Amino acid sequence: MVQQKGLNLVWHEGKVDREGREALLGQRGVVLWFTGLSGSGKSTVANAVAQKLHERGRLTYLLDGDNIRLGLNKELGFSLEDRKENIRRIGEVARLFVDAGVVTLTAFISPLREDREQARVLLGSDFVEVFVDCSLDVCEERDPKNLYKKARKGEIPEFTGITSPYEVPENPEIVVHTHTESVDESAEKVLEYLGRHILPGLLG
C-alpha cells in the first residue's frame, strides 16, 4: 500500500459533479478491466468493444498497457514492485475517467489477484473484470512482439507466464475465450453484459 506523503491535502469537489457529467453524456461511467496473458488478445478485444460502443454513441477511452508505459509510467520497469505500482496508478487514472462519466477500458496483463482486487476496492461497483482466457501455448504461437521467444532465451527476465506467475481471476464478471471465439464474438459478450447491467438501452 502506497503511503500518502503530502500533508495538508484536501479533495476539492467541483461545481459539476459526476451525476451531472453522466446526465450530459447519457451514460454511466464504468471500468472494463481486461486481464490476461501477453498475446491473449486484451487490446484487440478492448478496441473492438470501444469501437462498437462508439458506433452506439457512447463515449469511451482505452488505457492500453504499452501506451501508458510510454508516458505516464515510463520510469517503471517489470519488477514485481514496479508492476504493482503500474497497476495502482492505472486504477487511480481509471477512477478519474469514471468520475468524468467515461466508459473506460483498460488492457493490462495485471497478473496478480491482489493488485486487481486493489483496483476493485478502489472502484467499487464501477469495476468490471474481463478475463481474456487464452492458453499459454496459443499465446506463444501468436507472440506478436516476439516476447515469448525472448523470454524463453532468457533475454526478458520476470516475464509473465514463463518466469513470473499469472494468477487467473477467480470470479470475473466476464470471461471471453479468444482461442475459440472470434474477436467479434468476444466483444459482443462484453456488450451484452454492459447492456444488461450497466448501460440500459445499449442492446435495444
- Residue positions annotated with a catalytic role: 110
What cell does 98 get? Answer: 469514471
Locate all alpha helices (DSSP H) within the chain, ordered by sequence: 18-25, 42-55, 65-69, 80-99, 113-123, 136-142, 147-152, 183-197
Nearest CA to 34 among 201, 176, 143?
176
- Judged by phi (left if over 0) then psi (alpha if -120 to 50, else beta), residue 101 lies in left
Is the distance from CB of 77 to CB of 4 less than 8 angstroms? no
| Secondary structure class of 198 (helix, strand, coil) | coil
Compute CA distances 160 → 112, 156, 192, 194, whole Å: 10, 10, 30, 29
d(CA 126, CA 156): 35
DSSP-derived 3-state class of residue 6: coil
